[in-house]
Each structure stands twice: as C-alpha cells, then as structure tokens.
Amino acid sequence: MNTMSRRRLLTGGLATVAGASGLAMAAKLAARYGLIPPDSGVLYGAGETLTYAAQRLLTRHSLAREFAASQISQYPFANGNHRLGEEFQRLEKGGFAEWRLTVDGMAARPAAFSVAQLHSFPWHSQITEIACEEGWSYIAEWKGVPLAHILDLVEPLPQVRYVVYRSFQRGWWDSIDMADALHPQTIVAYSMNGGELPVKFGGPLRLRVPRQLGYKSVKYITRLTLTDNLKGFGKGLGSAGPEAGYAWYAGI
C-alpha cells in the first residue's frame, strides 16, 4: 500500500471511530496525556498520531483476545531468518546459560538477568494470536515474565516513557510506550506451547506484545533500555520498522 492511501485509511479509520469533531478532541487528549508517538508531526503526520492517540484512549486497559487450548495452531509459522551466526550457536550449545537480558537506561537499579533467573520469577501464560502485517497469523501459548515485573525490579525513574528492546539479531530492535510495557499481557517469553521457546520462534527470550502486530514481538532479546526520549536510538524513529516504512505503533 502506498503512503497516501495508507494515510487516508488511517485517518478515515479514526474518523469512523471518533467522529469528525472527535479528531480535534483526540488531538487535545493526546497532548494532555502525552499520547504522542515518538516522531509525531515530523514523519508520521497527523493521521498516524491521531490513530495512536485514539487507540490508546480506547484500548489502554483492554486485553488482547485469549483463546482455548484447542485453538492452538498445529503448524505455527516461524518468520524470518534463523541463521544467527557462530556466537549464537556457541550460546545455544551451552544451553543459553551465558545469555543475559540486560536492563539499563533510566533505572535506579539496572540489572542483567540470566534465563534461569527469569524462570524463577512470577510468570504469566496466555494463548494469543500473533498476526503478521503480511496477513498470516497463528495462535500459540506463550509463557514468561511480565515485563512489568522486570521493570519493578530495576526501579524505573519517574520520567521513563518508553522501553527500547534489542535483539541479538542485527537490525532488529523496537520500543513500546509504558501503557504497553506495563500491560499484563506483555511478557518476556521463554516458553511456547508448553515447551522451551524454540530458537526459530525467538528462543531463548522473546518479547511478546500481543496488543500489537507481530513485528513488535522481537525475538532473541538481549537488552532493555528505559528512556524518556527515542531520538537517540537508531534514526530516532523509535524502532527499525519505521526506517523501512512500517508504523512504530502497530496496535491491533
């Protein structure tokens, strides 16, 4: 879809939700609650800013749909390239004992957690759908540590607004706002469908963000950085996706 028709769709979708006069109100509320995507006005334009703000206001507290065990997909599709290089193979041979999830940035108590430590933390499991922007999806059970719990441990400074997360895989990094970071279904997943999280599905650790499209659920995560501003990361667009034309906020 080209940029213009995409923008028209986004703006049209918002107008349907909010009504024409709702647009002005969404803008005002967006400003009041700080619901402005990281690069608003510069690159994304009003349509996307308002889509984000309207979705946030409507869905801040809502849950992604959960499914029954009988609905779990028999043949989930693992997207992307899983040849991760020699260093990854070395870590995998060692059972990922050396894998660390480093949590840094604006935190009073930055830390680095091993996979075993994460296994000892309170966990959440969910049967949700992961939907790719390309049209396919599958349903699976994911289990892991609520990101909210990890944030609790490192004590975010009050001005933190985003969590940036980075993958072992070159080129893959992303960020979410605090509404999604603290959302009860947002987890650092280490298990899938009752077993270990397979490497092709992001093992040993993957962020699962079920309120957004699949590309926000980055695999092989190694580092979380708390920040009040996304300008200093990559090209300043909040994630790698927007550098290639994808929306930073991909709420579903």
Ligand X SMILES: Nc1nc2c(c(=O)[nH]1)N[C@H]1C(S)=C(S)[C@@H](COP(=O)(O)O)O[C@H]1N2
CB-based contacts of 231, cutoff 8 Å, min separation 6: 38
The smaller minimum CB distance to ligand X, of residues 113 and 220, is found at 220
Query: In whole angstroms, how close is the CB of 172 to ligand X at the nearest point?
Result: 4
Q: Going residue by residue from 97 to 136, which x/- string records binding to Mo ion, judged by CB under 5 A?
A: -----------------------------------x----
CB-based contacts of 93, cutoff 8 Å, min separation 6: none
The smaller minimum CB distance to ligand X, of residues 128 and 217, is found at 217
The smaller minimum CB distance to ligand X, of residues 113 and 165, is found at 165
**Helix, coil or strand: residue 71:** helix
Interface residues toward ligand X, by CB under 6 A: 77-80, 130, 132, 167, 169, 172, 201, 214-215, 217-220
With CB under 5 to 8 Å by kind, the binding choice for 220 among ligand X, Mo ion, none is: ligand X
Are 162 and 230 within 8 A, CB to CB?
Answer: yes
In angstroms, rounded to a whole number, what is the distance separating the alpha carbons of residues 88 and 199?
A: 10
The smaller minimum CB distance to Mo ion, of residues 80 and 95, is found at 80
With CB under 5 to 8 Å by kind, the binding choice for 218 among Mo ion, ligand X, none is: ligand X
Are 191 and 144 within 8 A, CB to CB?
Answer: yes
Query: In whole angstroms, how close is the CB of 244 to Mo ion at the nearest point?
Result: 12
Burial class (CB in 10 A: 0-12, 13-18, 19+), 91: middle
Residues that bind Mo ion (CB under 5 A): 132, 214-215
